[in-house]
Structure 1
Amino acid sequence: MLKIIKVTTLSVLIAVTGCVSIPSEAPELSVELGKRIAAIEESNITLLNRFFDQKRKEVDKFIEEEWVPEFANHFFSNKTISDAWETIVSEDDKKQRLLFLVKTGPRLIKKINEKRLELIQPLDALERRIELKIREEYTQARAINNSITSFLLSASKVADNRNRYLEMVNTTDASIGRLIDETDDAVSVLIEKKDILEDKSERSQKFLGKVREIRDSI
């Protein structure tokens, strides 16, 4: 499971407000913390992107190994198509076989691509929504740290603003973790084979419904 790295300026606030005097190195340390916040933000975004890349691969595997065989079986169950194919096979006419594939191939590919788009697009949208949420939180963290850096030059201002900044620090690690877990569960609904009688389209609809719920909760 994806593990989002936690970083806040809360520890800095506690350290600063607990001191009677501010060390001369404190402003430089706060500036360095700002750089680390940016680096950890990008690490978290990279982890998020890799997580969703894996989920997309799992969806592709479901389409290739489960949905396509069932779709092909349904496609060739059409009597007109089935009769035409059996005639071509029995006559062993390579020209007619090629013509059949040329005519039916694009239709099959179009349906497969449509199904992939139907299942992948919601994941893409959810990934963008979570990434935006993460970036918003780090933007807030940087803003708070920038203010602390300035306030470190004046110990009295740090004390005066202690409570206000403690209230502003709003870590959303639990929230992001919940979104990741729910996304993982949604894809599991699609790819798990516990109930072999359950229709593939029904599992697809459950998956899409869960992804929509996650997206709407952000």
Structure 2
Amino acid sequence: MSVEPARRDLEAIYSNLDRMYNIVVKIVTDTLRSLEEWRVNDALEDHLYLAENLSAVVEEQATFFIAKYQPLGPELLEAKSLIRTSYDLYRIARYCREINRVIAYTSRGGRTLKPSQQVRKAAEIVASMVGDAYKAYRTRDNELRRKVEETDNMIDRIYDTMLERIGKVESLSQTEAVDLLIVRHLERIADHAVYIARQAE
């Protein structure tokens, strides 16, 4: 296997993954703003479309790389990690879309129903996790990976505590129902951030 062309092709795939990451960061950042203002993000679908296309490009390029060079060892693992990471980034964007849908359905008729401060804080933490996870992956930073994993445990505890609290009441207020929906999506985003960070291993 020729090392230089293979490395060059891998870097081209990384470049597309970086472009995808930047779009997903935009989606996550806009979702934070939407939560704070309880306002639908009208640009989300366009950004999601771009992210989906780039995910498909990365998967196609990485698959072609494997078929072309038939790599063994580190470069095979790299190609596979590119596919997995593009999928995780896309899933993060999709969960942001679900949060946007919650806002859309609950803001009809001009209603303003903001989630609790705890949920908004959790959203900020999860947004930071996404950035840390991708940095850990791209720089192979295992210390940062561990930080992402520890933060994920915090988000899990917030979600579990909310479930326990809701299990003790007979009915939910609209705010409590919205909190639960949003935290569930945040918890899944956090999980995918962990999957990305673990590619640093």
Which has the larger Rg? 1
TM-score range, shorter chain: 0.3 to 0.5
TM-score (norm 2): 0.44
